[in-house]
Amino acid sequence: MIHTPSTSPALQTIAEKVANQIRITDQDCQLLFEEASLGFVGTLANQIRERKHGNRVYFNRNFHIEPTNVCVFSCQFCAYSRLYANREEGWELSIEQMLHLVKKYDGIPVTEVHIVGGVHPKMNLTFFKDLLAAIKGHRPDLHIKAFTAVEFDYMFRKAGLSIEEGLKILIEAGLDSIPGGGAEIFHPDIREKICKDKVDGSGWLAIHETAHQLGIPSNATMLYGHIESFSHRVDHMSRLRSLQDRTGGFNTFIPLKFRNKDNDMSNVPESSLIEDMRMYAIARIYLDNFSHLKAYWPMLGRQNAQLALSFGVDDIDGTIDDSTKIYSMAGSEEQSPTLTTSELVNLIRQAGKTPIERDTLYNVINDFSTPAN
Ligand code: V47
Ligand code: SF4
């Protein structure tokens, strides 16, 4: 038990729940955000992390494809998209160009391609079905993690299909899992202000729930540290925890730190490092039914991601090639977000942890527990 003179009885009760593996309530979570020190939540989160994963930290070898940065939506925090009206400033890749990017990795032991981009009105369901089929045709063993719920919502609506019908077509073509983007903050009071024209919170959750029912796992994100309050974070994580109770289909939760450069929310200050670490730790404590908590280092910065490994995080995203533009454009420290596998392994080792290369589904590909690896 953690006992310091400044710890209130209510916080002590939360510490006891964690020690006894009892789920904390939404009210407990709110209290942690409002009152708990970084040291307090960090100790609890570490306890949970060690129970679940010991000293292991996972990463995967993946690469990204961004089909377009042209987008019909206008999220206030987005530094990446070009409005459809200004599309001459943007890029749009053909299937051949994207297949060429995949072929650049021939002979390189990547296990996953992550495909996500803006919502371009001309890139429809048929286009993406053909893209997935072309990639699978070339490299059947490559796991395709593709499209946010925002992209699905738009493409299925345009095709006049239900979520289930649309997903089945893409699964048949080669879709293996779904990344966590587009979640932002589910609560309508905040969503209305930062991304009012794209799929709402219930729509995002419905797409992930249907995917899980069809056997497709997914991730979940939360864009935090802007105009939301602690209660909106609790509401967001509460909806995710309930869905996970029903389906068990989420692999990982990924808190995404809001970055304020070159977007319509540049006047909003960024969260402090202490608040970032508290965010990770509280997520680890609250989301008891999520196996993994990921720090996305291109967004957070590699040193801060390394620090997050001591606050509940057990996963640090893949080795990423330099076509990942969305984060550097919003002001992340990582202007050229690339890390080689050995750099990533060293980064994990420096934090005193054991690097484990995984595939998308957390099967172990390579155990780096001995320096020889
Ligand atoms: O939904 C956009 C975020 C997300 C900003 O599932 C911003 O493995 C901070 O979800 N400041 C897309 N964040 C990326 C994403 C993701 C990334 C890595 C791994 C996985 C996974 C998913 O990027 C968007 C939005 O929340 N984003 N602009 C910004 N200014
Ligand atoms: Fe479009 Fe996504 Fe940017 Fe929103 S966050 S404007 S949906 S690319």
The CB of 73 under 6 Å from ligand 2? The reply is yes
The CB of 221 under 6 Å from ligand 2? The reply is no
Ligand 1 site-directed mutation target among 64, 223, 276, most atoms within 8 Å of CB = 223
- In this structure, the number of other CB atoms found within 10 A of the CB of residue 274 comes to 10
Say how many Å lie between the CA of residue 222 and the centre of ligand 2: 14
Query: What is the mean pLDDT of the segment spanning 55-64?
Result: 94
Q: What is the pTM of this model?
A: 0.94
pLDDT value for 79? 87
**159 exposed, middle or buried (CB, 10 Å; 0-12, 13-18, 19+)?**
middle
Name the residue with tokens 């802007």.
226
For the stretch 113-150, pLDDT in tens is 999 999 999 999 999 999 999 999 999 999 999 999 99
Say how many Å lie between the CA of residue 330 and the centre of ligand 2: 12
Say how many Å lie between the CA of residue 163 and the centre of ligand 2: 20
Instruction: Please determine, for residue 86, whether its predicted confidence score (pLDDT) is greater than 80.
Output: no
Q: Which domains does the chain have, with CATH numbers?
A: 57-367 (3.20.20.70)
For the stretch 270-323, pLDDT in tens is 999 999 999 999 999 999 999 999 999 888 988 999 999 999 999 998 775 534
**Stretch (H or E) spanning 83:** strand 82-83
Buried b (16+ CB within 10 A) or exposed e, 73-83: bebebbbbbbe
Ligand 2 site-directed mutation target among 69, 82, 119, most atoms within 8 Å of CB = 119
How far is Cα 258 from Cα 292, in angstroms, rounded to an integer?
Answer: 21
pLDDT value for 227? 98
Left if phi > 0, otherwise alpha if psi is -120 to 50, otherwise beta: which for 235? alpha
Q: Determine what percent of the chain falls in helix, strand and coil, rounding each to the nearest 5.
A: 45, 15, 40
Say how many Å lie between the CA of residue 92 and the centre of ligand 2: 15
